[in-house]
Structure 1
């Protein structure tokens, strides 16, 4: 199949799952900001909500969305991943953004991001969570959505120039990136969602950033009460991911043999390969041991997290984001077919193995 550099096909439409997932990511920083403000004054929360609504429903809709292909394609209501069902109260403008429109957008966005900072700096935990939440949203959108978005006017758009030209020549008829057997089999065409044969260092950076969000919130909750138990938790995490998971799960993975002396996968980049690859899928015993290790890692910090509700919420939301994101964007094109979460169709697996 393909290398990680092969561009994914453009997404001409958004599904309900797209809207739910991206809006879930988007609402998290707003919720954190609202919590910080609410501790001081409910009235200022109302002001904050008003500022956000004015930006998204007026400024962004008029000065950004009207130039967007998704907006232009919609009939009566907007059909995009961020503002579904909003009436098209402004006229579509297929021409590029003017400098004035870009300036208005930038000035309009600043209050949305900066308004809650006054209250957030009073609580370093909330401030950190706020920054991380926005970082997760933008990194995820840029990494998985901006590379296949047909809104070429957006400054975050990362679709290669040749793909844009090809899309425009075809009159905007490129297919969506739904991970299906038909699309994956069409590897090498502009409609394929090809399997990921290799990982890159940037994959490792992204996924470990998401993972560290989980581990940091748990470690912080434990560390507040006991340094000894924190060291125990760190040992458990290192033992599970560095030894237990590698031996019983990773040795069966095709990515395990990538690289020379060190691993080259999105979760373990540069980690020494202590064990020999196993050329067959993991058995029930391997999966049971790996699952038990994950259960211990996940549930071990709960007694301490229950004492700090905010960290408990951060921990659970971070786990949910991790699972939703990896299931949505990675499991449908992963070549580790022995993994119980793999979503590549059976006929595509057979074709790849041949």
Structure 2
């Protein structure tokens, strides 16, 4: 099997969905920090909000955004995924950042990140959630946006040098600047410019990190009340993902059908294949059994979560982040066409299947 012969498009503009998704993800750590501070004083919450706004609207705006192509190309207002509609109060400055600008940006960011720590260390649960939420934000941004962002001056930018040169030659006129080298074909596109024909270990690490944020909040809520029920929950999760899902859902997946003795997908890496692959779409019965298993897994911890509102909020937010992220960035390029959530266009599926039959 080989990936489709197409490159990945650079994101030359952001949609409303991009802005909603990334501002939602960005608001989570600020909300957690505000909750920790609010337990002591609402006045300090106002100070925290002021520090954050000063950083984003003054320091970052002046010393970072003015060098960004999204800022430079905007007319009147900013049109990026993080600060949509904000007036351009500073003059655009094409070119690299100066050492002074980098230092000021770092010094301006530190108070924003560190300010709530004094209150967070009083509540280890909130501190952990704060760290995890920021880690999730930066990991997701680097994984899905930094590989196609035209802000080449950003230190997190991961666009290959060849793509940058091609974009600069065309002066950013093209909406889809493509780079056909194979090693970039399965990275970074939510518009299915390429299919992800195989997963890597880093995919497994990322998606299991996201999944663990869900399971940890549920397990913690149960474990506070009962060790016995926690063990029952752990057994149910292992049985579902290791046996039930593998038999009634994974066996139909093209990632599973391949000849490895162990699974090599983004959710199950190194797990033994207990069942033979079935190279056809899953039946309604298979999907019903799989759905029932997921419903049980999701609803099982609710009686305990309802006793702890913070853990309930963390649980529901983690599920929402998981679903939004996988829907935006994976379902549009996944080769498991039998999955009911698959969003790969029909013409791309057809082309992929024809190439595989030819090979």
Q: Give me the TM-score of the superposition, normalised by structure 1.
A: 0.94
> Deviation at 1:92?
0.1
Match of 1:332 in 2: 332
The answer for the alignment partner of 1:167 in structure 2 is: 167
- 5+ residue gaps, structure 1, are 178-186
Q: Give the equivalent residue in structure 1 for 2:29.
A: 29
Q: Secondary structure at the match of 1:263?
A: strand
Displacement of 1:233 after TM fit?
0.1
* CA distance in structure 1 between the partners assigned to 2:197 and 2:292 by the alignment: 28
| Between 255-264 and 230-239, the greater mean CA deviation after superposition | 255-264
Give the aligned partner of residue 67 of structure 1: 67
1:224, CA displacement in angstroms?
Answer: 0.2
Matches of 1:175 and 1:334 in 2, distance apart? 23
> Counterpart of 1:310 in 2: which secondary structure?
helix
Query: Residue 181 of structure 2 corresponds to which residue in structure 1?
Result: none
Q: Deviations over 1:150-181 (max 9, x none)?
A: 0000000000011111111111134259xxxx
Once residues 293 and 351 of structure 2 are traced to their aligned partners in structure 1, the CA distance between those partners, rounded to angstroms, is 33
TM-score of the pair, normalised by structure 2: 0.93
Distance in 2 (CA, whole Å) between partners of 1:157 and 1:4 is: 25
Q: How does 1:298-337 map to 2 (within 5 A)?
A: 298-337=298-337
The RMSD of aligned alpha carbons is 1.9
Aligned partner of 1:104 in structure 2 is 104
- Whether the 8 Å contact between 1:78 and 1:86 is mirrored in structure 2 is yes
Determine helix, strand or coil for the equivalent of 2:277: coil
When residues 82 and 132 of structure 1 are mapped into structure 2, their CA distance, relative to the original with a 3 A threshold, is: same
| Match in the other structure for 1:241 | 241
Corresponding residue for 1:256?
256
- Per the TM alignment, residue 281 of structure 1 is displaced from its structure 2 partner at its CA by 0.4
Paired positions, count: 344
Partners of 1:3 and 1:198 within 8 A in 2: no
- SS in structure 2 of the partner of residue 35 of structure 1: helix
Query: Is contact 1:199-1:265 (8 Å) kept?
Result: yes
Q: Indicate conservation of the 8 Å contact 1:244/1:290, yes or no.
A: yes
Which 5+ residue runs of structure 2 have no aligned equivalent?
178-184, 355-359
For residues 192-211 of structure 1, the aligned pairs below 5 Å read: 193-211=193-211
What is the CA distance between 1:7 and its match in structure 2? 6.1
1:94 aligned partner = 94
Conserved in 2, the CA contact under 8 Å of 1:196 and 1:334?
yes
**SS at the partner of 2:11?**
coil
